[in-house]
Amino acid sequence: MKYKNIPLNERIIFALDVNSLQKCEEWLDLLGPYINFFKVGLELFIAEGFKAVNAVTKRGHKVMVDLKIFDVPETVSSVILLLKERNVTFATVHGNDPILRAAVGVKSGIKILAVTVLTSFDEDDMKELGLTGTVEDLVFHRAKKAIALGCDGIVSSGLEAERLRNDLGNNFLVVTPGIRPGKNIEIPEDDQKRITTAQDAIINGADYVVVGRPIKMAKDPVSVVKSMQKEIEKGLMKK
């Protein structure tokens, strides 16, 4: 499998899962020299809105706005247009064909990532929702449809990435959350269930890994970033 030409300092997308602009800026100060891609998720966006997005882009960094946009198609189109005005690189969308089509239809200049199944879900959660089959099959089904509709990539765990690459090819992005370090870093009340290391995710076919708590909760966040980047380099060499 040929890997995409992505700079190493963009392979890790650091999740700015904080609730204030001040904390956001502190993490940008600390990690900016090592990471060039940051995620603004629901918590920070609700707290600070586009101020948080601007805080990232004004430094020259790339930003992934992870709102898992799910609404009527007209609203989805309007939201994507607003994100485009803010120099957003990735935006996540979730939903059925009309929702994904609405996002893709106005995407010029922004890459649309379709969310498949949250990494906090497993088969037990699917049964509770009345869904049959495996998580892997559901991820594959949603990914296949999203790519066919023109999405630039998908969000899935590293556990499903290998099948997606083998069966759907390399002409789309795989962005993988649920990353945990190879070395032991305790994460209290960890709600992620379908997890991999950064190296395994890359070997399986991921292009980017989204990492938050393993870096945030470390005594030395920068050392964890550097360690994960070394893992990623090793993973790329094995592909």
Q: pLDDT tens digit string along 149-197?
A: 999 999 999 889 999 999 999 999 999 998 987 654 455 555 555 778 9
Buried b (16+ CB within 10 A) or exposed e, 221-235: beebbebbbebbeeb
Mean pLDDT of the chain: 91
What confidence score (pLDDT) does residue 119 get? 72
Share of the chain above pLDDT 70, in %: 92
In a domain, 188, yes or no: yes
Q: Is 94 exposed, middle or buried (0-12, 13-18, 19+ CB in 10 A)?
A: buried
Higher local confidence (pLDDT), 118 or 234: 234
Domains of the chain: total: 1
CATH number at residue 45: 3.20.20.70
Confirm whether 68 is a catalytic residue.
yes
In a domain, 43, yes or no: yes
DSSP-derived secondary structure letter, 196:
B
Segments forming the whole domain that contains residue 69: 8-238
Higher local confidence (pLDDT), 55 or 136: 55
Q: Which residue type is seen at 131?
A: L
Residues 6+ apart with CB under 8 A from 229: 8, 9, 11, 12, 34
What is the average per-residue pLDDT within 16-26? 97
- pLDDT tens digits for range 68-102: 999 999 999 999 999 999 999 999 999 999 999 99
In a domain, 57, yes or no: yes
In a domain, 190, yes or no: yes
- Mapping DSSP to helix (H, G, I), strand (E, B) and coil, where does residue 89 land? coil
What confidence score (pLDDT) does residue 193 get? 59
What confidence score (pLDDT) does residue 124 get? 75
Task: Quote the CA–CA distance of 94 and 204 in Å, as a whole number.
Answer: 23
pLDDT band of 1, cuts 50, 70, 90: low
In a domain, 2, yes or no: no
In a domain, 1, yes or no: no
Task: Quote the CA–CA distance of 196 and 34 in Å, as a whole number.
Answer: 22
In a domain, 177, yes or no: yes
Indicate which residue of 23, 68, 84, 193 is catalytic. 68
Task: Quote the CA–CA distance of 176 and 211 in Å, as a whole number.
Answer: 9
Tokens of 158: 């590293």
In a domain, 34, yes or no: yes
